[in-house]
Amino acid sequence: MTQFTADRLLLFGATGDLARRKLLPSLCALDADDLLPHDLRIIATARSELDDASYRAMARAALEEHLAHDRRTTIERFLDRLTYQPLDATTLKGFTDLAAKVGTPANGLAIFLSTAPSLFGPTIAGLEHAGLTGERARIGLEKPLGNDLASSCAINDAVASAFPEERIFRIDHYLGKETVQNLLALRFANILFEPIWNSNYISHVQITVAETVGLEGRVGFYDDAGALRDMVQNHMLQLLSLVAMEPPTSFDATAVRDEKVKVLRALRPAQASETVTGQYRAGAITGAAVPGYDEELGKESATETFVAIKAHLDNWRWKGVPFYLRTGKRLPERVTEILVQFAAVPHSIFNARPTAQAPAMQPNHLLIGIQPEENITLSLMAKVPGLDEAGLALREVPLAIAMPDAFSETHRRIAYERLLLDLVKGDQTLFVRRDEVEAQWHWIDAIRAQWEQQALTPKSYTAGSWGPSAAIALAERDGVSWHE
């Protein structure tokens, strides 16, 4: 495999929402920390008829809106790196001019596609036509990469016709989040957890990705996708695979992804009865009234904005351990967290009667907060101070690490900073390999097929609640409460 650090970055979809909110701010922030190669030039392209100056003005406005104040020190230098070429990606015509604008990189070219998936095929054809797909070019792809296994395979085939897998970088921006990477550090840089990280000591795992936002104007896209495809197929299954994977032999792209894909292939096809879907109705989020999904959309729809699933992994380590997944829009708070619930002690030597100050003995749990707070909390039982004439009183106490406090000298980074830097440098560890994507779709398609077969439609939930009551029942019939 040819290793190179790119000195040209070609950005498709450069006027889009993702570019303005995340990509440009991330690149500028990397520049502020002197992390971009000094000779990196960024060629932006999209359909709009802009020139270099007007694109830079648009980029400046985006940075002023979306980049943290303390990271705006080098905006001018960053803007100087940018040039712009208008392009209609549906025809081959403009690609020769685009190639001229890119010029001849000294080291290599990194391409980033953040466009509608329908443009992926024509864009790849155009890149090939213009000679931009050679050995010293790699390509990053932003989701959605299809909306089922078949369409994802079609996209992957089109990309594979021009780029080998080791030069394809599929983004799942959750892998760029600090705390998600920290999950690997927690599991594999400490001796403490791994010996008990299995069905002998863990009774279940919960993964929650709750959002307060609604449609956010993404009317067409979201209504065709729904929560299962928008969030579970990618981000949640990636989180699940990091929690459940075997220790890789090293932190390198092949070793890590080999282990993740084994987990994804071990997912047991979920029964419809182990899934709950919901769609929000008008309600209130932190005191402010918000409309229902169909009102935001302007029509009735059967798309789910909430999904909860009880998932199982058919392998030795996780035999009999349910993984409860839930995600939804317009939930009461924005929170992404993983809860690992350990088993109860096999025999309690304490026999004090539970009281309000000292409730019954609770099994330990580990709570990994991913956002908005990045913290790790281990719940432990401790003795309540006192003379305990009625027997030793116990209470659950948290052993908590707030990551920002532990590393107060560092600043919080946007997930795309890590990923864009890895794309420029050519490290695939935090990108999703084709076999992972396909295993993900395989599991998701089977769920959707069952929903269709049984003509299931989402249940209503009030915006600002934790989803339909059936989601609570899904866990409660196993004696489990969702962590809130």
Distance CA 109, CA 478 (A): 52
Q: Give the side-chain half-sphere CA count within 13 A for 251.
A: 10
Closest approach of ligand BG6 to the CB of residue 231, in Å: 6
Q: Which residue's beta carbon is nearest to the bound ligand BG6?
A: 230
Distance CA 139, CA 158 (A): 12
Q: Which of 331, 301, 311, 304 is nearest to 448 (CA)?
A: 304
Distance CA 151, CA 226 (A): 16
Site for ligand BG6, residues 284 to 343, rule: CB under 6 A: 336
Q: Give the side-chain half-sphere CA count within 13 A for 211.
A: 14
The end-to-end CA distance of the chain, in Å, is 47
CB-count exposure of residue 60 (10 Å: 0-12, 13-18, 19+)? middle
Q: Which of 251, 449, 210, 458 is nearest to 339 (CA)?
A: 210
Distance CA 440, CA 311 (A): 13
The residue among 173 and 204 lying less far from ligand BG6, judged by its C-beta, is: 173
Closest approach of ligand BG6 to the CB of residue 211, in Å: 5
List, by residue number, the catalytic residues.
Answer: 235
Q: Is 211 in the site for ligand BG6 (CB under 6 A)?
A: yes
Site for ligand BG6, residues 405 to 464, rule: CB under 6 A: none
Closest approach of ligand BG6 to the CB of residue 336, in Å: 6
Closest approach of ligand BG6 to the CB of residue 114, in Å: 12
The residue among 229 and 365 lying less far from ligand BG6, judged by its C-beta, is: 229
User: Site for ligand BG6 (CB under 6 A): how many residues?
Assistant: 4
The residue among 248 and 328 lying less far from ligand BG6, judged by its C-beta, is: 328
Per-residue x/- track, 173-202, ligand BG6 (CB under 6 A): x-----------------------------
Closest approach of ligand BG6 to the CB of residue 173, in Å: 6
Site for ligand BG6, residues 224 to 253, rule: CB under 6 A: 230
Distance CA 144, CA 152 (A): 9
The residue among 211 and 337 lying less far from ligand BG6, judged by its C-beta, is: 211
Site for ligand BG6, residues 155 to 174, rule: CB under 6 A: 173
The residue among 94 and 369 lying less far from ligand BG6, judged by its C-beta, is: 369
Partners of 109 in beta bridges: 8, 137
Contacting positions for ligand BG6 (CB under 6 A): 173, 211, 230, 336
